[in-house]
Amino acid sequence: MDLKPIAAAPTGAERAAVDALLGPPESGWVGGPRDVAVDGRSAHGGHAARGRRHLLLPALHAVQERVGWISPGALSYVCQRLTVPPADAYGVATFYALLSVEPRPPRVLHVCEDIACRCRGADELIAALEERVGPEGTVAPDGAATWLRSPCLGQCDRAPAALVADAGEGHGETVQAPASLDGLLGALAGGPLAPEPADPLPQQGEPGLRLLRRVGVVDPTSLDDYRAHGGYEALRRAIALGPEGVLREVVDAKVVGRGGAAFPMGRKWEAVARQPARPHYLVCNADESEPGTFKDRALIEGDPFALLEAMTICALATGCERGVVYLRGEYPRAHAVLGAAIEEARARGLLGEDVLGSGLAFDVEIRKGAGAYICGEETAIFESIEGYRGEPRSKPPFPVVEGLFGRPTVVNNVETLVNALEIVRLGGPAYAAIGTEGSTGPKLFCLSGHVARPGVYEVEFGTTLRELLELAGGVPDGRALQAVLLGGAAGGFVRPDELDLRLTFEDARAAGATLGSGVVMAFDDTVDLPRLLLRIAAFFRNESCGQCVPCRVGTVRQQEALARLVRGRPRGGVEAELALVAELGRCMRDASICGLGQTASSAIESAIGRLGVFAAANGGAG
Amino acid sequence: MFGAGGGTSSYREVEETDVILLWGSNARETHPIFFHHVLKGIRNGARLVVVDPRRTSSAQWADLWLGLDVGSDIALANAMAREIVHAGLHNRAFVERATSGFDEYRAAIEPYTLEEGERLTGVPAAAIREAAHAFARADRGMICWTLGITEHHNAVDNVLALIDLGLLCGHVGRWGAGLNPLRGQNNVQGGGDMGAIPNKLPGFQDIERDDEARARFEAAWGCTIPPRYGWHLTSMFDAMERGDLRALYVLGENPAQSEADVHRTRRLLAGLDHLVVQDIVLTRTAELAHVVLPSSASWCESDGTVTNSERRVQRVRAALRPPGDARDDRWILTEIARRLGADWEHDEVEWVWDELRGLSPMHAGMRYDRLEGRGLQWPCPDEEHPGSPFLHGRLWAEPLEGPRVPFSVVHHEGPVEELDDEYPLRLTTGRRLESYNTGVQTNLYRSPLHRGEAICLAPEDAASLGVADGEVVRVSSRRGSVEAPVRIDAALRPGLAFMTLHFPDQVDTNVLTIDATDPRSGTAEFKAAAIRVERLEASGRAAPQLAAAAGD
The ipTM (two decimal places) reads 0.85
- Phi and psi angles of residue B231, each rounded to the nearest 5 degrees, phi first: -95, 140
Residues of B within 8 A of A38 (CB-CB) are 124
Interface of chain B against chain A, CB under 8 Å? Answer: 28, 42, 45, 47-48, 55, 57, 59-67, 122-124, 127, 458-460, 490, 493-494
pLDDT digits (tens, 9 = 90+) for A223-264: 999 999 999 999 999 999 999 999 999 999 999 999 888 999
Count how many residues are written for chain A: 622
**pLDDT class for B304, splitting at 50, 70, 90?**
very high
pLDDT digits (tens, 9 = 90+) for A196-214: 887 888 999 899 999 999 9
Q: Which residues of B112-143 are buried (b: 16+ CB within 10 A; e: fewer)?
A: bbbebbbebbbbbbebbbbbbebbbebebbbb
Contact A46 B55 (CB under 8 A): no
Count of pairs with CB atoms under 8 A, one residue in A, one in B: 60
**How would you classify residue B183: left for phi > 0, otherwise alpha for psi between -120 and 50, otherwise beta?**
beta
What's the pLDDT at A619? 44
pLDDT digits (tens, 9 = 90+) for A267-284: 999 999 999 999 999 999
- Phi and psi angles of residue B5, each rounded to the nearest 5 degrees, phi first: -85, 80
Cα–Cα dist A324/A283, whole Å: 5
What's the pLDDT at B524? 87
Task: Kindly identify which residue of chain A lies nearest to residue B64, measuring between CA atoms.
Answer: A44
Contact B60 A2 (CB under 8 A): yes
Is the pLDDT at A620 greater than 50? The verdict is no
What's the pLDDT at A259? 87
Contact B458 A83 (CB under 8 A): no
Q: Which of residues 64-83 of A touch B (CB under 8 A)?
A: 83
Among B149, B187, B134, B167, residue whose Cα is nearest residue B307: B187
Q: How far A47 CA lies from chain B's nearest CA (Å)?
A: 6
Q: What is the DSSP string of B410-479?
A: ------SS---SSS-EEEEEE--TT--TTSTTGGGS--TT-----EEE-HHHHHHHT--TT-EEEEEETT
**pLDDT class for B538, splitting at 50, 70, 90?**
low
pLDDT digits (tens, 9 = 90+) for A134-166: 999 999 888 899 999 999 999 999 999 999 999
Nearest to B124 among A2, A34, A42 (CB): A42
Residues of B within 8 A of A83 (CB-CB) are 60
Say if pTM beats, i.e. exceeds, 0.80: yes
Residues of A within 8 A of B122 (CB-CB) are 41
Q: How far A566 CA lies from chain B's nearest CA (Å)?
A: 48
Nearest to A41 among B57, B60, B122 (CB): B122
Q: What is the DSSP string of B356-422?
A: HHHH-GGGTT--GGGGSTT-EESP--STT----SSS-GGGGSSSPPSPPEEP--------SS---SS
Judge whether A570 and A564 are in contact, CB under 8 Å. Answer: yes
Q: Which helix (H) or strand (E) holds B39?
A: helix B32-43
Which parts of A460-525 fold into alpha helices (H)?
465-471, 505-510
**pLDDT class for A315, splitting at 50, 70, 90?**
very high
Residues of B within 8 A of A46 (CB-CB) are 42, 47-48, 61-64
A276 by Cβ neighbours in 10 Å (0-12 / 13-18 / 19+) ranks as exposed
Task: Kindly identify which residue of chain B lies nearest to residue A34, measuring between CA atoms.
Answer: B490
Q: What is the mean pLDDT of chain A?
A: 95
Is the pLDDT at B459 greater than 70? The verdict is yes
How large is the average pLDDT for residues B66-87?
Answer: 98
**Bridge partners, B201 (sequence order):** B205
How large is the average pLDDT for residues B448-463?
Answer: 92
Q: How far A4 CA lies from chain B's nearest CA (Å)?
A: 10
Nearest to B124 among A36, A41, A45 (CB): A41
What's the pLDDT at B447? 82
Mention every residue, 6+ apart, whose C-beta is less than 8 A from residue B54. Answer: B26, B67, B428, B430, B491, B492, B496, B498
What's the pLDDT at B541? 47
Is the pLDDT at B15 greater than 50? The verdict is yes
Cα–Cα dist A426/A457, whole Å: 21
Is the pLDDT at A6 greater than 80? The verdict is no
Is the pLDDT at A505 greater than 50? The verdict is yes
What's the pLDDT at B346? 85
Among B60, B66, B70, pick the best mutation site for testing chain A contact (most A Cβ within 10 A): B60
Residues of B within 8 A of A2 (CB-CB) are 28, 57, 60
Over A325-379, what HEC string results? EEECCCCHHHHHHHHHHHHHHHHCCCCEEEECCCCEEEEEEEEECCCCHHHHCCC
Q: How far A545 CA lies from chain B's nearest CA (Å)?
A: 26
pLDDT digits (tens, 9 = 90+) for B401-429: 899 999 999 999 999 999 999 999 999 99
Contact B63 A42 (CB under 8 A): no
Between A133 and B548, name the one with better pLDDT. Answer: A133
Q: What is the mean pLDDT of chain B?
A: 92
pLDDT digits (tens, 9 = 90+) for A552-586: 999 999 999 999 999 999 999 999 999 999 999 99
What's the pLDDT at B448? 81
- Phi and psi angles of residue A394, each rounded to the nearest 5 degrees, phi first: -75, 140
Is the pLDDT at B278 greater than 90? The verdict is yes
Interface check for A384 against chain B (CB to CB < 8 A): the answer is: no
Residues of A within 8 A of B460 (CB-CB) are 36
Which parts of A303-331 fold into alpha helices (H)?
304-318
Cα–Cα dist B393/A199, whole Å: 73
Task: Kindly identify which residue of chain B lies nearest to residue A83, measuring between CA atoms.
Answer: B60
Among A131, A130, A111, residue whose Cα is nearest residue A122: A111
Q: How far B408 CA lies from chain A's nearest CA (Å)?
A: 28
What's the pLDDT at A2? 67
pLDDT digits (tens, 9 = 90+) for B343-392: 888 878 999 999 999 999 999 999 999 999 999 999 999 999 999 999 99
Residues of B within 8 A of A45 (CB-CB) are 60-65
Interface check for A40 against chain B (CB to CB < 8 A): the answer is: yes
Among A36, A41, A47, pick the best mutation site for testing chain B contact (most B Cβ within 10 A): A41
CA B256 to chain centre: 19
Task: Kindly identify which residue of chain B lies nearest to residue A5, measuring between CA atoms.
Answer: B490
Among A313, A262, A278, A66, residue whose Cα is nearest residue A169: A66
What's the pLDDT at A3? 67
**pLDDT class for B2, splitting at 50, 70, 90?**
low
Cα–Cα dist A23/B447, whole Å: 41
Nearest to A48 among B63, B65, B493 (CB): B63
Q: How far A378 CA lies from chain B's nearest CA (Å)?
A: 24
Contact B61 A46 (CB under 8 A): yes
Is the pLDDT at B6 greater than 80? The verdict is no
Q: How far A44 CA lies from chain B's nearest CA (Å)?
A: 5
Contact B42 A43 (CB under 8 A): no
Among A352, A349, A288, A348, residue whose Cα is nearest residue A315: A352
**pLDDT class for B547, splitting at 50, 70, 90?**
very low
Among A42, A76, A88, pick the best mutation site for testing chain B contact (most B Cβ within 10 A): A42
pLDDT digits (tens, 9 = 90+) for A367-416: 999 999 999 999 999 999 999 999 999 999 999 999 999 999 999 999 99
Residues of A within 8 A of B62 (CB-CB) are 43, 45-46
Contact A45 B47 (CB under 8 A): no
**pLDDT class for B398, splitting at 50, 70, 90?**
confident
**pLDDT class for A319, splitting at 50, 70, 90?**
very high
What's the pLDDT at B545? 39
How large is the average pLDDT for residues B472-483?
Answer: 96
Cα–Cα dist B295/B286, whole Å: 12
Contact B63 A46 (CB under 8 A): yes
Interface check for A176 against chain B (CB to CB < 8 A): the answer is: no
How large is the average pLDDT for residues B46-58?
Answer: 97
What's the pLDDT at B5? 63
Interface check for A2 against chain B (CB to CB < 8 A): the answer is: yes
- Phi and psi angles of residue A9, each rounded to the nearest 5 degrees, phi first: -105, 145
